[in-house]
Amino acid sequence: MKIDLTDTTAGKINKALVRGRRAIGTPAVGMVLTLVIVTDEENAYDAIKAAGDASREHPSRTLVVIKRASRSPRDRLDARLDAEVRLGGDAGAGETVLLRLHGELVDRADSVVLPLLLPDAPVVVWWPVDAPAVPAKDALGALAQRRITDAYAVEDPLSELAARAEGYEPGDTDLAWTRLTPWRSMLAAALDQARVQVLSAVVESEAENPSAELLARWFAARLRVPVEQVVTAGPVVTAVRLRTAEGEIHIDRPEGPVARLAIPGQPDRVLALKVRTTAELIAEELRRLDPDEAYRAALHAEVVAPPAAPEGAA
C-alpha cells in the first residue's frame, strides 16, 4: 500500500500510518527500531531497497529524509513537506515513509522526524553518502543510539576516515568497517589455531580502499606490528598475510566469493568470503547498538610500515 501526501505535516503522516495499518491489518508493535536514512534523490532507491531487505531480519519504521535543493530565493523561503507512506509488501517487513523536505524545512529535518519516531524504541541514523563531519552533533544524529556512515561512498575515502576519527563519538560506525567482519573473524580463528607470534602484516587491496586502511589499523592496534599495504586490482581487499617465525598465515581472495586460507603445518582450506551486499551490512549493524570499541581503536590507530629492505638485498 502507498499513500501520497503533498504539503503535509508529521501529524497527518502519523494518521496515514494508522489508517494504513488498519487497512492491511499490520500492527506496529512488531517494530524493533526506527531507521532514519538521510540521502538524496540519486541514492534514495538503493538505500530504500537495502533497508527493506534488512527489515526482514529487523522489522523497523524506516524514515527516508530527502532534502530537495531550492532553485530560487523564493523557493528557499517556502517550507514544504511532501511524503509517501509505504506499508505491507511495498515496505519489506516494516513500514517506510519518504519525507521530501523543501525550503527552510531542509535545515529543520529533526523537527519533522522527531514526531515520527517509534516510542521507546532505539533510533539508528544512516547516511549512505555525504555524512556530516561529526555525526553525533548533527541534528538528526543526536537523536540516535547508532550512527552509520560509509567512507567507501565518497570521493576521498582516506580523508573521510580522518574526519570520522576526529569527530568520533560512541555509537558511530562505518560500513567500511562492517565489510571487514568476515576477514577479522577468520584471521582471529586462524591465530587461535596457529598459536604463533605475528612479526608483521601485509594487506592487499584496491587503491585507497577504506576497509583495507581500517584493517591495517586494526592490526596495528591489536597486534602492534608493522603493516605493509599493497595495491592490487581489487575488488576491495584481496589478500592478507601475517608473517611469523614459523611461516606465513594468509588468506587470498583474488576474485569471486571463494578464498583460500593457509596456516603453516596445516593443509590449505577453501573459505566462503563473498563481497556482501549493502542490505547484509545494514542488517549486521542493526544487530548491535552498543558502542563498537574495536572500531574506535582501529579508527584511531597509526600504521607503521615495515623497514625498507637494504639495497641489493635479494
Provide the 10 A C-beta neighbour count for residue 80: 15
How far apart (Å, rounded) are the C-alpha atoms in residues 115 and 83?
A: 14
Q: How confident is the model at residue 312 (pLDDT cuts 50, 70, 90)?
A: low
Residue 46: phi and psi, rounded to 5, are -65, -40
Tracing cell 509488501 back to the chain, one arrives at 89
pLDDT exceeds 80 at position 131: yes
**CB-facing half-sphere around the CA of 2: CA atoms within 13 A:** 5
Render pLDDT for 251-297 as a digit per residue (tens, 0 to 9): 999 878 899 999 998 999 999 998 899 999 999 999 988 999 999 99
Q: Is 160 helix (H, G, I), strand (E, B) or coil?
A: helix
- Report yes or no: 227 and 214 within 8 Å, Cβ to Cβ: no
pLDDT of amino acid 29: 58
- Phi and psi at 43, nearest 5°, equal -105, 0
Q: What is the pLDDT of residue 78?
A: 75
239-258 per-position pLDDT tens digit: 999 999 999 999 999 878 89
Model confidence band, residue 91 (pLDDT cutoffs 50, 70, 90): low
Interatomic CA distance for residues 232 and 136, integer angstroms: 35
pLDDT at 196: 86
Q: Which of 41, 40, 35, 49 lies closest to 130 in space, CA to CA? A: 40
Contact predicate 176/210, CB 8 Å = yes
Q: Report the Cα–Cα distance between both ends of the chain, in Å, rounded.
A: 68
- CA distances, 95 to each of 9, 63, 288 (Å): 18, 9, 21
pLDDT at 314: 42
pLDDT in tens, 31-89: 889 999 999 999 999 999 999 999 888 889 999 999 887 665 655 567 899 999 998 77
156-205 pLDDT, tens digit each: 999 999 999 999 999 999 999 999 999 999 999 999 888 889 999 999 99
**What residue has cell string 552498543?**
290
Identify residue 234 by its one-letter amino acid code: G
Grid cell 543510539 is found at 145
For residue 116, count other CB atoms closer than 10 A to its CB.
18
pLDDT at 265: 87
